[in-house]
Protein backbone atom coordinates (compact mmCIF):
# COMPACT_ATOMS: atom_id res chain seq x y z
CA UNK A 1 0.00 0.00 0.00
CA UNK A 2 2.92 2.38 0.62
CA UNK A 3 3.82 2.17 -3.10
CA UNK A 4 0.28 3.20 -4.00
CA UNK A 5 0.43 6.06 -1.50
CA UNK A 6 3.56 7.40 -3.21
CA UNK A 7 1.23 8.38 -6.09
CA UNK A 8 -0.75 10.47 -3.61
CA UNK A 9 2.29 12.64 -2.90
CA UNK A 10 2.81 13.37 -6.58
CA UNK A 11 -0.86 14.20 -7.17
CA UNK A 12 -1.20 16.27 -4.02
CA UNK A 13 1.93 18.35 -4.63
CA UNK A 14 0.85 19.12 -8.19
CA UNK A 15 -2.24 20.84 -6.77
CA UNK A 16 -0.40 23.14 -4.34
CA UNK A 17 1.14 26.56 -4.88
CA UNK A 18 4.74 26.03 -3.80
CA UNK A 19 7.80 28.24 -3.78
CA UNK A 20 11.31 28.19 -2.41
CA UNK A 21 10.62 30.67 0.43
CA UNK A 22 7.93 28.65 2.15
CA UNK A 23 7.86 26.72 5.42
CA UNK A 24 5.33 23.84 5.44
CA UNK A 25 4.04 21.51 8.16
CA UNK A 26 3.46 17.80 7.49
CA UNK A 27 1.09 16.56 10.21
CA UNK A 28 1.52 12.86 11.04
CA UNK A 29 4.53 12.76 8.73
CA UNK A 30 5.51 9.17 9.49
CA UNK A 31 8.62 8.28 7.49
CA UNK A 32 8.18 11.20 5.11
CA UNK A 33 5.83 10.13 2.33
CA UNK A 34 4.84 13.79 1.81
CA UNK A 35 7.69 15.60 3.59
CA UNK A 36 10.43 14.28 1.30
CA UNK A 37 9.00 15.35 -2.08
CA UNK A 38 7.62 18.57 -0.56
CA UNK A 39 11.07 19.50 0.77
CA UNK A 40 12.39 19.46 -2.82
CA UNK A 41 10.16 22.42 -3.65
CA UNK A 42 10.06 24.63 -0.53
CA UNK A 43 12.56 26.15 1.92
CA UNK A 44 11.66 24.12 4.96
CA UNK A 45 9.36 21.30 6.08
CA UNK A 46 8.52 20.50 9.69
CA UNK A 47 7.67 16.80 9.93
CA UNK A 48 5.47 16.41 13.00
CA UNK A 49 4.72 13.02 14.49
CA UNK A 50 4.31 11.48 17.94
CA UNK A 51 6.29 8.43 16.79
CA UNK A 52 10.03 8.70 17.48
CA UNK A 53 10.61 5.48 15.51
CA UNK A 54 8.94 6.83 12.34
CA UNK A 55 10.78 10.14 12.58
CA UNK A 56 14.11 8.36 13.11
CA UNK A 57 13.61 6.57 9.77
CA UNK A 58 12.84 9.91 8.13
CA UNK A 59 15.87 11.62 9.72
CA UNK A 60 18.13 8.87 8.37
CA UNK A 61 17.11 9.85 4.85
CA UNK A 62 19.28 12.97 5.36
CA UNK A 63 17.07 15.65 3.78
CA UNK A 64 18.59 18.71 5.44
CA UNK A 65 15.63 21.09 5.08
CA UNK A 66 13.28 18.75 6.97
CA UNK A 67 13.09 19.30 10.73
CA UNK A 68 11.50 16.45 12.62
CA UNK A 69 9.28 17.42 15.55
CA UNK A 70 8.29 14.60 17.87
CA UNK A 71 5.23 15.70 19.83
CA UNK A 72 1.46 15.58 19.88
CA UNK A 73 -0.06 18.23 17.60
CA UNK A 74 -2.15 19.41 20.56
CA UNK A 75 1.01 20.26 22.56
CA UNK A 76 1.32 23.51 20.57
CA UNK A 77 3.16 24.30 17.36
CA UNK A 78 6.32 26.41 17.25
CA UNK A 79 5.73 28.36 14.02
CA UNK A 80 3.34 29.77 11.45
CA UNK A 81 3.33 27.97 8.11
CA UNK A 82 2.60 28.71 4.47
CA UNK A 83 0.76 25.42 4.32
CA UNK A 84 -0.18 22.21 6.11
CA UNK A 85 -0.27 18.79 4.45
CA UNK A 86 -1.23 15.45 5.91
CA UNK A 87 -1.78 11.92 4.62
CA UNK A 88 -3.78 9.31 6.54
CA UNK A 89 -3.31 10.96 9.95
CA UNK A 90 -6.63 12.79 10.35
CA UNK A 91 -8.56 9.62 11.24
CA UNK A 92 -6.23 9.06 14.22
CA UNK A 93 -7.33 12.27 15.94
CA UNK A 94 -10.57 12.26 17.94
CA UNK A 95 -11.11 16.05 17.99
CA UNK A 96 -11.23 16.93 14.29
CA UNK A 97 -12.52 20.47 14.87
CA UNK A 98 -9.81 21.12 17.49
CA UNK A 99 -7.18 19.88 15.05
CA UNK A 100 -8.49 22.06 12.21
CA UNK A 101 -8.49 25.06 14.57
CA UNK A 102 -4.84 24.44 15.41
CA UNK A 103 -3.98 24.26 11.72
CA UNK A 104 -5.85 27.50 11.08
CA UNK A 105 -4.12 29.30 13.98
CA UNK A 106 -0.73 28.26 12.60
CA UNK A 107 -1.31 29.18 8.97
CA UNK A 108 -0.42 32.49 7.39
CA UNK A 109 -3.38 34.46 6.00
CA UNK A 110 -4.63 32.56 2.94
CA UNK A 111 -2.34 29.67 3.88
CA UNK A 112 -2.98 26.33 2.18
CA UNK A 113 -4.43 23.20 3.78
CA UNK A 114 -4.27 19.83 1.96
CA UNK A 115 -5.44 16.72 3.80
CA UNK A 116 -5.66 13.19 2.41
CA UNK A 117 -7.73 10.57 4.19
CA UNK A 118 -10.37 7.88 3.77
CA UNK A 119 -13.91 8.54 2.75
CA UNK A 120 -16.35 7.03 5.28
CA UNK A 121 -15.77 3.29 5.43
CA UNK A 122 -17.21 0.35 7.38
CA UNK A 123 -14.24 -0.23 9.69
CA UNK A 124 -12.68 -2.92 7.51
CA UNK A 125 -9.74 -0.77 6.39
CA UNK A 126 -7.74 -1.17 9.60
CA UNK A 127 -9.60 -4.17 11.01
CA UNK A 128 -8.40 -3.73 14.59
CA UNK A 129 -9.54 -0.12 14.85
CA UNK A 130 -9.09 0.23 18.58
CA UNK A 131 -5.64 -1.38 18.57
CA UNK A 132 -4.53 0.85 15.71
CA UNK A 133 -5.69 4.07 17.32
CA UNK A 134 -8.41 4.74 14.77
CA UNK A 135 -10.82 7.44 15.98
CA UNK A 136 -12.86 7.90 12.79
CA UNK A 137 -13.92 5.36 10.18
CA UNK A 138 -13.14 7.83 7.42
CA UNK A 139 -15.04 11.06 6.81
CA UNK A 140 -18.15 12.34 5.05
CA UNK A 141 -17.02 15.34 2.94
CA UNK A 142 -19.99 17.53 3.91
CA UNK A 143 -19.34 16.99 7.62
CA UNK A 144 -15.61 17.62 7.29
CA UNK A 145 -16.24 20.71 5.18
CA UNK A 146 -18.58 22.11 7.86
CA UNK A 147 -15.89 21.59 10.52
CA UNK A 148 -13.23 23.20 8.32
CA UNK A 149 -15.45 26.24 7.77
CA UNK A 150 -16.17 26.42 11.51
CA UNK A 151 -12.40 26.46 12.09
CA UNK A 152 -12.06 29.45 9.72
CA UNK A 153 -11.22 27.81 6.39
CA UNK A 154 -12.61 28.95 3.04
CA UNK A 155 -12.80 27.55 -0.48
CA UNK A 156 -13.05 23.96 0.74
CA UNK A 157 -12.91 21.40 -2.08
CA UNK A 158 -12.78 17.61 -2.25
CA UNK A 159 -11.11 15.51 -4.94
CA UNK A 160 -10.95 11.74 -5.07
CA UNK A 161 -7.19 11.29 -5.23
CA UNK A 162 -6.71 7.50 -5.23
CA UNK A 163 -8.46 4.14 -4.94
CA UNK A 164 -6.26 2.21 -2.54
CA UNK A 165 -6.13 -1.53 -3.26
CA UNK A 166 -6.06 -3.14 0.18
CA UNK A 167 -4.49 -6.54 0.87
CA UNK A 168 -7.94 -7.58 2.16
CA UNK A 169 -9.05 -7.58 -1.50
CA UNK A 170 -11.18 -4.44 -1.28
CA UNK A 171 -10.44 -0.96 -2.48
CA UNK A 172 -10.96 2.25 -0.57
CA UNK A 173 -11.24 5.71 -2.12
CA UNK A 174 -9.14 8.47 -0.57
CA UNK A 175 -10.05 12.16 -0.73
CA UNK A 176 -7.89 15.21 -0.91
CA UNK A 177 -9.50 18.10 0.95
CA UNK A 178 -8.03 21.47 0.07
CA UNK A 179 -8.88 24.75 1.77
CA UNK A 180 -7.52 28.22 2.35
CA UNK A 181 -7.11 29.97 5.69
CA UNK A 182 -9.03 33.21 6.03
CA UNK A 183 -7.28 36.57 5.97
C1 LIG B 1 -1.06 6.19 9.13
S2 LIG B 1 0.34 7.14 9.62
C3 LIG B 1 0.62 8.08 8.15
C4 LIG B 1 2.08 8.43 7.95
C5 LIG B 1 2.40 9.17 6.66
N6 LIG B 1 1.70 10.45 6.58
C7 LIG B 1 2.07 8.32 5.46
O8 LIG B 1 1.03 8.57 4.80
O9 LIG B 1 2.83 7.39 5.17
C10 LIG B 1 -0.36 8.36 10.74
C11 LIG B 1 0.69 9.08 11.56
O12 LIG B 1 0.08 10.11 12.32
C13 LIG B 1 0.74 10.20 13.57
N14 LIG B 1 -0.14 10.87 14.53
C15 LIG B 1 -1.37 10.44 14.92
N16 LIG B 1 -1.89 11.27 15.83
C17 LIG B 1 -0.98 12.26 16.03
C18 LIG B 1 -0.95 13.43 16.86
N19 LIG B 1 -1.98 13.71 17.69
N20 LIG B 1 0.13 14.25 16.79
C21 LIG B 1 1.15 13.95 15.96
N22 LIG B 1 1.19 12.85 15.17
C23 LIG B 1 0.14 12.02 15.18
C24 LIG B 1 1.06 8.74 13.91
O25 LIG B 1 2.11 8.61 14.84
C26 LIG B 1 1.42 8.15 12.54
O27 LIG B 1 2.80 8.17 12.28
Categorise residue 32: left if φ over 0, alpha if ψ from -120 to 50, beta otherwise: left
Ligand 1 within 6 A of CB of 28:
yes
Ligand 1 within 6 A of CB of 69:
no
Ligand 1 within 6 A of CB of 50:
yes
Q: Tell me: the pLDDT tens digits for 94-133?
A: 999 999 999 999 999 999 999 999 999 999 999 999 999 9
Ligand 1 within 6 A of CB of 73:
yes
Most confident residue range from 6-10, 125-129, 145-149, 179-183: 145-149
Ligand 1 centroid from CA 53, angstroms: 12
Domain locations in the chain as residue ranges: 2-181
Rounded to the nearest integer, the mean pLDDT of the chain is 96
Question: What is the second-level CATH architecture of the domain 2-181?
Answer: 3-Layer(aba) Sandwich (3.40)
Whole-number Å distance between alpha carbons of 115 and 109: 18
Is pLDDT above 90 for 153?
yes
Ligand 1 within 6 A of CB of 32:
no
Ligand 1 centroid from CA 154, angstroms: 25
Amino acid sequence: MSQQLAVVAERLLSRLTLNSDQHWLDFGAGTGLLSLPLAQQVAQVTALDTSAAMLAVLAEKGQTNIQTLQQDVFAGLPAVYAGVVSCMALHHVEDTLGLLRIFHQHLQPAGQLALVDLYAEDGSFHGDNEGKGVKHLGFEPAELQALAEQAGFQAVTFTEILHLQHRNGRDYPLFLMQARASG
